[in-house]
Amino acid sequence: MAFHIETKRTELTGLMSDILKKKSELSGRLDGVLDITANSKDMKSWNGSASVSLKEGYLWELPLIGIFAPVLDRLTPGLGASTFSEGTADFTITDGVVGTRNLELKSALIRLQYKGKVDFDGRIHDAGVVAEAFRDTWVIGPVLGPLFNLALSPIERMLKFEVSGTLKQPKLELKHIPKALLVPFQLPFKVLDELVPDTEPGRRGP
């Protein structure tokens, strides 16, 4: 079989409520294109591509996104509850494995960049995330913004994670950071391990 699907300005709340068969707290306007060729009897035969874009999206209900909320709140309270002004991603589907190298979610105060793969059983493979706080914040403005970003660059590099587990129960691990990189800066927490508390992702106030 082969099929092509396009969607324009689809409301994410209704779409996900229909898919999940329960009320969803996800929100946003979704545009997307999906092309697939497959043997319907063999999930590993699925191949194709997809691209999506999202406007004004609230996605923290998704475990793969929500797992970062307590981490971001350690930097700035409420940072892990913001609405994403825009999001984009391109995907490839190869033998039943979905992969992306450019999934990006942006708000005024945070940017999340994902890359990795997920199989049709929901298992995560070779996944990593970079969280960049304050990268595009309008509060700082175009003059002070670049200087502020430069000052925060060690923190930005520190907020790189490896992700494993499954879509329903993702696991987060900080990647190695050279201590020399952090010496000139006073970090807003005592130890790196405190950035990844043992909490379950859940609904957060926007």
State mean pLDDT over 52-67.
Answer: 93
Q: What is the arithmetic mean of pLDDT over 173-185?
A: 52
Q: Confidence band (pLDDT; 50, 70, 90) for 79? A: confident
pLDDT of residue 140: 44
Model pTM?
A: 0.76
Quickly state the pLDDT bin for 73 (edges 50, 70, 90): confident
Max CA pair span of the chain:
58
Mean pLDDT for 56-83 is 85
Q: What is the tens place of the pLDDT at every residue in 29-42?
A: 999 999 999 998 89
Cα 16 to Cα 1, 11, 87, distances in angstroms: 25, 9, 17
118 compared with 172, residue with greater pLDDT? 118
Give the number of C-alpha atoms closer than 13 A to the C-alpha of residue 130, restricted to the C-beta side: 14
Q: What is the pLDDT of residue 205?
A: 52
Domain chopping of the chain, boundaries: 2-195
